[in-house]
Amino acid sequence: MAHNRARLEKYQAPVAIKLALLWASLMFLYIYNDYFALYMPGTIQAMSQGRMGPLGPATPGVMVAVSMLLAVPAAMIFLSAALPPMLSKWLNVFLGLVYTAVEALTFAGPHLFYKIVVAIEIVASLLIVFYGLRWPKQKTAEV
């Protein structure tokens, strides 16, 4: 007896949407890793004393630098889909590599949970580079 198995519809998301979703995933990973770190003893006390982890004092310059570091991935969620394809491609490749390096520098954190999430962040940022480099070329009609 033959069964009629329904096949799921295959949807191929455009690369720009995949990149935007990867940047959004990366942002959630950043936020949750920092949130979970608040549960570690001494973290909130250090924050209330104006210290920002291994960066030391939370000076205005440090706060601006960290804000910019987090603002770029947030902006890339929109920019990945809104910029012209060639600009989006190379910006995603470049920033994906930059953020992979940043994540690698934070991997040495003292907590296992933090390292696990950073490893996932590295995979996500490398996928950004991968999809950026493999952005399909537009097919043109030959005359």
pTM for the full model?
0.87
Expressed as residue numbers, the domain containing 51 is 15-133
| Residue indicated by tokens 């949750």 | 32
Distance from chain centroid for Cα 27? 5
Q: Residue 42: which residues within 8 A CB-CB, separation 6 or more?
A: none
| DSSP state for residue 54 in the 8-state scheme | G
Query: In the chain, how many domains are there?
Result: 1
**Domain for residue 111, yes or no?**
yes
pLDDT tens, residue order, the chain (143 aa): 556 678 888 889 999 999 999 999 999 999 999 999 899 999 899 999 999 877 889 999 999 999 999 999 999 999 999 999 999 999 999 999 999 999 999 888 788 999 999 999 999 999 999 999 999 988 876 65
Q: Which residues contact residue 123 at a Cβ distance below 8 angstroms, ignoring those fewer than 6 apart?
A: none
For residue 57, being part of any structural domain is answered with yes
Separation of CA 123 from chain center: 9
